[in-house]
Structure 1
């Protein structure tokens, strides 16, 4: 149905949840506070923040080149960080006057952001031409959608059958994406970021407990982390990307792979330094090192985007959102439970949640390096002359790397999943 309707529905769902929350709080003398538990149900309208962020990345992917795609993702993360830095101070100042001012301002900003969707052109059928201008996708990419519109069923039963069949086809298309080993290798690495993010608050309690800091003193490290992230996303990584492409002559895909590998290694080293930190300086250094790896998801998202055709990017990003959401559901309780176990045992066990994150990020590093090995093998095979003596081996290599050959129109198979 396009990017705009989905994005608009997600914004409507979030705004509805916020307004319902406000209604319950304003009528707390009449309505039971347990009705607040109903608020998350409004996020079923559109899918909430996970879907809205997914649509942002999908739109950015539609209208940018492969070389600039990662930078757009980084700028998106930086915008979120700026909001995280500014909003608590503004909300705190407004709450000192009246708590409702900050809530109303938040709803207004959410509504304003949602209204901007009306002025964004639909990008699902837009593609960048070699000259850099936006053009409509080739007719072949829209044949399936056009045929569904022109062959509308007449009866209610036929409409239900048609919708059910379309739903099954889309589900099959999404599942078919997972037949590609490189996609699966990169997809599972998106579990690492929720676990790393869950340790941010725990690290404040960890430092407070280990070094007898007050929580408000340890919280200053959050500002340090946010400042480093802004410099990293807005300056260091874009300049480094430009250097790797223009000075060293690397392709965009190779550049993203190298930076993804570097970032995930920084996440592993940072978690290990924090976990083993018996000295405050070493712990702070570990936080800095782990922050240098926070650009990983941008590079991994750009890499995995190259594996599918443009018309399947939305489904791929939906799969990424599902993985990230599952990671968020598991990581929070797990990290806090490990921290409680570490506190009970004492000593070096206190760093148990950070050792856990180091293990998970190490598994992500193995997946990224395995992806690099597969793509390297594929590149060498493409450069090798293909004769009859290589036919069977090349067919096996295609099966290993997940290259799908089109079989039926209307499925994901109509486009190729590439390496």
Structure 2
């Protein structure tokens, strides 16, 4: 669907709604016009005559009533979902493979300096990423795992810097100049970052492994992963009517999780042959979305084309009322006053509705939980003495439950809430968000104390039942703010997610290293921490209330927001 797709107008509308008298007026007016043109044209007569009064009146009265059929958002939604699936597949298929390559490089260098007898091949014989240089089970010692955790944690910290610096400016620019340019830059920056990390890993004898941190530099083009994720949700908000937004967000999240269900399994199988196979395949999958973006139009100012309830934005060429000439010219205020006024205007939605910041803050906790989830492979590999490929297969159980949750459990619960319990859309989303956050908190607390594989799998299943939480919060939050502030709200969410990712990655890595040092059950310290954060976020969600005017069509219950 291109950007110039015309709106469909019913051509029979005029005929069905015009009287014979109107037709006679139209005919006589046209005839008069032609007669005047034939007999009274001179050299000074303009080539384009103005419309006669009756014809102009006819057009002005009839054309505003032409019915306009909104465009279907489904073709563009399908394309965006394909892009999301490809991007998610890239991350998922190479996550454990890249982690194994990092571990191999750190492990080889560790034994090279401490115990060369562990080395199976010399430097001249070992291949890219030092794969095959040391047995994997010999790399599960605390010294190697602690360094690996810190490497990955600080990688997340540095990758978060572009989002921290650029999330708000890019959100403002996306509201002003459009979503598409920044979306394209984001996908390009991903490819450059992944490519650089693999160059450093391939030529590990020439580069220090910490050089992967320079992969942050390409992210300055786009603001980082969280900025691009936020932009994708902004584009979805642009094209999807409010009534369908929650279900579309859930479907998009579920399709992304399909990649997390299938790709880790494929990656684990390919890792048995060589970790570089899924790593390089992930780079290829990161490139493919760039071709899909060619067909994604700019969606800024196009929301009215997809929803009949939304009026088109005013044309910049439309006549404006004349400015009053009775007032003297305004005095331009100082620059710092103008900047302060602009800042107040840009962030007014934060103070206009006290519920907005309460709903935004849990995204910080969400990112802490996400960073802990990324540490899950290393945690299971170390605590239960299993390989990364086996840990990847176990983690797939976690992802499988999330897919069932988003495809079946949450849509069913949503339907029950609206059709049988007669809850309003907003109240239903709020109740589901509260329950999901509680399950998430309890699940991760149990992950932290699980003594064996069966209990940790059961705990991951419980935690996964809450993973649809932030899709629902996004939908609920979007309904509370004006459309021209949506990208800015998502930018602030991105900022908090970035802070959570930056400091959460380093913090959970430090907690993991501290747990290794303390020994025993303390190895689960990162999950005890994020479980506690989840409990705090649950309290924030229970502090949010609906207003009576927002609960029309549903059972208002006993919750009334007085803010």
**Residues 299, 336 of structure 1: alpha-carbon distance in 2 compared, 3 angstrom cutoff:** same
Deviation for aligned residue 1:41: 1.1
Report what 1:137 is aligned to.
312
Report what 1:413 is aligned to.
none
CA contact (8 A) 1:54 1:317 kept: yes
Unaligned 5+ runs, structure 1: 148-160, 381-396, 402-419
CA contact (8 A) 2:516 2:523 kept: yes
Report what 1:176 is aligned to.
348
Choose which of 420, 423, 440 in structure 2 pairs with 1:267: 440
CA contact (8 A) 2:445 2:532 kept: no
Report what 1:321 is aligned to.
494
Report what 2:131 is aligned to.
none
Distance 1:261 1:253 in 2: 12
Distance 1:33 1:275 in 2: 30
Distance 1:121 1:136 in 2: 19
Q: How many residues are paired up?
A: 363
Say whether residues 1:371 and 2:544 are aligned partners.
Answer: yes
Report what 1:340 is aligned to.
513
Report what 2:528 is aligned to.
355
> Normalising to structure 2: TM-score of the pair?
0.56
Highest Rg: 1 or 2?
2
CA contact (8 A) 2:271 2:278 kept: yes
Indicate the SS of the match to 1:274.
Answer: helix
Deviation for aligned residue 1:193: 1.6
Indicate the SS of the match to 2:538.
Answer: helix
Choose which of 8, 26, 44 in structure 1 pairs with 2:220: 44
Distance 1:31 1:337 in 2: 25
Deviation for aligned residue 1:183: 1.0
Question: What do the CA deviations read for 1:245-268 (whole angstroms, capped 9, x no partner)?
Answer: 222222211111011001001012
CA contact (8 A) 1:126 1:134 kept: no
Distance 1:282 1:212 in 2: 15
Indicate the SS of the match to 2:298.
Answer: coil
**Residues 292, 24 of structure 1: alpha-carbon distance in 2 compared, 3 angstrom cutoff:** closer
Report what 1:299 is aligned to.
472
Choose which of 246, 251, 256 in structure 2 pairs with 1:75: 251
CA contact (8 A) 1:10 1:45 kept: yes
Question: What do the CA deviations read for 1:260-310 (whole angstroms, capped 9, x no partner)?
Answer: 001001012212322343465443322111110011110111111112111
CA contact (8 A) 2:246 2:472 kept: yes
Distance 1:56 1:344 in 2: 41
Distance 1:274 1:98 in 2: 27
Deviation for aligned residue 1:191: 1.5
Distance 2:466 2:278 in 1: 37
**Residues 284, 4 of structure 1: alpha-carbon distance in 2 compared, 3 angstrom cutoff:** same
CA contact (8 A) 1:342 1:352 kept: yes
The structure that is helix-richer by fraction is 1
Choose which of 253, 266, 286 in structure 2 pairs with 1:110: 286
Unaligned 5+ runs, structure 2: 1-176, 320-332, 552-559
Distance 1:362 1:80 in 2: 26
Deviation for aligned residue 1:135: 6.1
Distance 1:108 1:370 in 2: 45
